[in-house]
Amino acid sequence: MSDYILQLEDISKFFGPVIALNGVTLRLKRGEVHCLLGDNGAGKSTLIKTLAGVHLADKGQYLVNGAPVRFRSPRDALDAGIATVYQDLALVPLMSVARNFFMGREPVRKLFGVLPVMDHASAEAIATEKLGEMGIRVRNAGQMIGTMSGGEKQCLAIARAIHFGAQVLILDEPTAALGVKQSANVLKLILKARQRGISVIFITHNANHAYPVGDSFTLLNRGKSLGTYAKADISKEALLDMMAGGAEMKTLMEDLEGVTI
Ligand SMILES: Nc1ncnc2c1ncn2[C@@H]1O[C@H](COP(=O)(O)OP(=O)(O)OP(=O)(O)O)[C@@H](O)[C@H]1O
Ligand SMILES: [Mg+2]
């Protein structure tokens, strides 16, 4: 068996004249949390959309468990156990927590012994129980998802992917819009997924979020990889320094000194 559950080898992706990815290699080990870091426009979302079957790469190879694949749609990736939680989440605000948890896979019961209808009571009980197992307390799974906070919604989307048997969980900036406490909840859930043997790709701008949960780190800068580092080989400070923008931001701030507004 391959050591890697997913591999992108020397991947390039072009959008007309824009080179979004330029020969990027990313290898995800089984059971690890692999952080993908980089500044705006570095190519992070393009990379995960390639993994998730949204984009076909223009060059390079994509392997799952050591075997080459060519996903034509996100459905193909999902069937291979690769679940992606996008930043915009694709939750339906006017549907209940339970319905968002099941999304078309709700338990059914027979009305008058024949007509299949959604079993709301079981759906709510199962959703409450499964979310509870992952440390997410829901008072009423019949409540509309629109009433949950951003962090709770992220947690629900992650819990759903775990519940429905994801082998690989890809999270695109799950903590970007969250405060400290809610970010901590999402980070805990990432560790919980790893405990269950799920391999995770965690995309973030924030080295302070990545470092405590990550086993390895890949840095992207303008469509190119700056390399992959195991945690033992890189300190948080070095990671912060390497992050695209770190050095540039320093010069920008220096340039701004003395500017009067
Ligand atoms: N569908 C598209 N059509 C044209 N250009 C695109 C498309 N998607 C991405 N790009 C371009 O590819 C480059 C990489 O974008 P991408 O969204 O992957 O960056 P990112 O690292 O996810 O940035 P952010 O942190 O802002 O989310 C950018 O220059 C972007 O404008
Ligand atoms: Mg992005």
Delimit the domains of the chain by residue range: 4-88+165-256
Distance of CA 221 from the midpoint of ligand 2 (Å): 13
Nearest atom in ligand 1 to the alpha carbon of residue 205 is: 25
Q: Which pLDDT value is given to residue 34?
A: 97
The residue contributing the CA closest to ligand 1 atom 5 is 15
CB 190 within 8 A of CB 213: yes
CATH architecture assigned to 4-88+165-256: 3-Layer(aba) Sandwich (3.40)
- The pTM (predicted TM-score) of the whole model is 0.83
Q: What is the number of the ligand closest to the CA of 47?
A: 1
**What percent of the chain has a predicted confidence (pLDDT) above 90?**
41
Best of 19, 24, 46, 54 for a ligand 1 pocket test (most atoms within 8 Å of beta carbon)? 46
Best of 26, 44, 54 for a ligand 1 pocket test (most atoms within 8 Å of beta carbon)? 44
Query: In this predicted structure, which of 85-89, 120-124, 174-178 has the lowest mean pLDDT?
Result: 85-89
SS3 79: helix
Residues whose beta carbon lies within 6 Å of some atom of ligand 1:
15, 18, 20, 38, 40-46
What are phi and psi for residue 139, nearest 5 degrees? Answer: -70, -45
Report the alpha-carbon distance of residue 66 to residue 37 in Å, rounded.
Answer: 24
55-64, 107-116, 150-159, 168-177, range with greatest mean pLDDT: 55-64
Mean pLDDT of 142-166: 79
Q: Which pLDDT value is given to residue 88?
A: 64
Q: Which pLDDT value is given to residue 10?
A: 97
Going through the chain in order, the beta strands assigned E by DSSP cover 4-15, 18-29, 33-38, 59-64, 67-68, 82-85, 108-111, 115-118, 168-172, 199-204, 216-221, 224-230
Mean pLDDT of 192-199: 91
Instruction: For residue range 60-114, list pLDDT tens digits in order.
Output: 999 999 999 999 888 899 889 998 887 766 666 667 778 777 776 777 788 888 8
